[in-house]
Amino acid sequence: MLTSKDYNRKIILEDGVEYYGYAFGDTEDKLCEIVFNTSMVGYQEIISDPSYTYQAVVMTYPLIGNYGMASEDYETVIPTIGGLIVREINDEPSNFRSERSVDEVLKAFKIPGIYGVDTRKITRSIRDLGSRKVLITNMSTSLEEGLEIIKNNEIPKDAVSKVSCKEIISYPGNNSMSSHPKKNLNVVAIDCGMKQNIVRSLTGRGCNVIKVPWNTTAEDIIRLNPDGVFISNGPGDPTDVVETIETIKKLIGKYPIFGICLGHQIISLASGAKTYKLKFGHRGGNHPVRNLKTGRIEITSQNHSYAVDNDSIKDTGLEITHINLLDNTIEGVSNKSDRLFSVQYHPESAPGPQDSSYLFDEFIDLMHESH
C-alpha cells in the first residue's frame, strides 16, 4: 500500500498549485492544457480520441482501467492524448476482451499518467479558474522550475496537422447499419483528427468514405467527384486551420456538407460566423441538447473547447438548429439552400444511446436528394 511519502509524480498548474500522486504510463515531463471529462465509461475512446492532442484529461469518475483496453475500440491507431490524470487506476482489468492495461498502452505511446491525486478538487479548480497550462513532472522538479517551464513554453498550434492522415485512405461502404440499402454514395471526409467510429457510422450506411488530409484543396476534392463532403472532429483552435476553412468556403453550395465538432466550427467560420473559447469546455457523455426543429432533448457526448458565437450568426445564412441546455451555447447549425449542416456534439459516440444517430441518416438523404 503506497503512502504519501511514496509520492513520485506531481502536476504543477499555471496558477502555482501542485498536486502530488503516483506515476503510471510514461514518466517524461509533459506540458499540456488541463481539462476534465465527466464520462463514467469510455476511457479507451477518450485516450484514443485525436481531439485530446496536447491536453491532459482529468477523469472525474474515480476508477479507470477496470475493463482494460481492446484493439477494436480505439478511435485512432496512434493515441495522441497529452496525459491522463485519475484518482485510481486498475492495472489488473477484468474483461474477456481486454488485451492490455491502460498503463501498458500509455507506456507504449509515451503518454504520461498520474493517479492518487484529488480529482474532485482539480475539477473544481478547472471549473472556477478555467482550462490552463499544466506540467506533469517528477517530484524532483521544484515549483519555481515548473512555473518557469510553463511560463516559457506554449501549447503547440499544429495539432490538426499532427493527427490528420498524410495521404488518401479509402473505406468501402457495407450497409451494415442500413435496413434499406441504396446505391453506395461517395463521401470525401476531411480528416482533422477523425474518430474511427465516424468512419464506421458512414460506411455502415452504405457510404464509400474517402478520407483526405486536412489541407486538401477544394480543387482536389472536386476531382474526387464526391456525392457529399464531411468535415471531422479534431483538436485545437478552429481558426488555426485556415486551409480547411478556405477549402470549405469554395465547396459551399457545390455539395451536401456535414460537419461534427471541429467540423461544425469550420463550417460556421467558412460561412462568416465567429468562434470563441469556452472557460472549461464541454467534455462528457450526458450533455442535454434541444433540437429546435423537433423540440426533443438529446443526450449527447461532447469534447470541445471552442463554440460558435451566437451574435455572429446573423447575416451568414446559417440557422441555429440545436442549443445546449446547460449554457445555451450553439450545438448545431444548418443552411438549407446550401445543403449544409453541422453539430457541435458527437452522434457517433452513441450517447442516449441512439439519440443523435439520425444525423448520419439526414446526411445520406441529403446526398440522395441532390442526385
This prediction's pTM: 0.96
- pLDDT (0 to 100) of residue 265: 98
pLDDT above 70: residue 167: yes
At 265-299, the pLDDT tens digits run 999 999 999 999 999 999 999 999 999 999 999 99
Confidence of residue 1 (pLDDT cuts 50, 70, 90): very low
**Mean pLDDT in residue range 51-79:** 97
Q: Residues 264, 304, 322, 346: which is the catalytic one? A: 346
Q: Across residues 61-72, what is the average pLDDT?
A: 97
Q: How far is CA 337 from CA 222, 229, 245, 257, 274, in A?
A: 20, 16, 19, 12, 21
Decide if 287 is catalytic.
no
| 139, 27 Cβ separation under 8 angstroms | no
- Which of 342, 335, 356 has its CA nearest to residue 308? 342
162 or 5: whose pLDDT is higher? 162
Residue 6 grid cell: 511514496
113 contacts 103 by C-beta, under 8 angstroms: yes
User: What pLDDT score does 199 carry?
Assistant: 97
Per-residue pLDDT averaged across 108-112, rounded?
Answer: 98
Please enumerate in sequence order all residues whose Cβ is within 8 A of that of 122, keeping only pairs 6 or more positions apart, or say none.
11, 19, 34, 36, 58, 85
**pLDDT beyond 80 at 177:** no
What the chain holds in terms of domains, given with CATH numbers, is 4-155 (3.50.30.20), 161-369 (3.40.50.880)
pLDDT of residue 70 exceeding 50: yes
Question: Any catalytic annotation for residue 348?
Answer: yes
Work out the average pLDDT over 86-113. 97
- Asked if residue 313 lies in contact with residue 9, where contact means CB atoms within 8 angstroms, the answer is no
pLDDT for the residue 370 = 87
Closest C-alpha to 38, from 126, 165, 137, 150: 126
| Residue 351: per-residue pLDDT | 77
Per the rule left: phi > 0, alpha: psi between -120 and 50, beta: everything else, 206 is left
| Tens digit of each residue's pLDDT (9 = 90 or more) over 202-214 | 999 999 999 999 9
Average pLDDT over residues 355-368: 95
**In DSSP terms, which residues pair with 252 in a beta bridge?**
255
Report the pLDDT value the prediction gives residue 371, as an integer from 0 to 100.
77
In which band, very low, low, confident or very high, does the pLDDT at 69 lie, cut at 50, 70 and 90? very high
207 included as an active-site residue: no
The per-residue pLDDT for 181 is: 60
Instruction: State the catalytic residue, choosing from 261, 264, 282, 322.
Output: 261
- What is the reported pLDDT for 178? 67
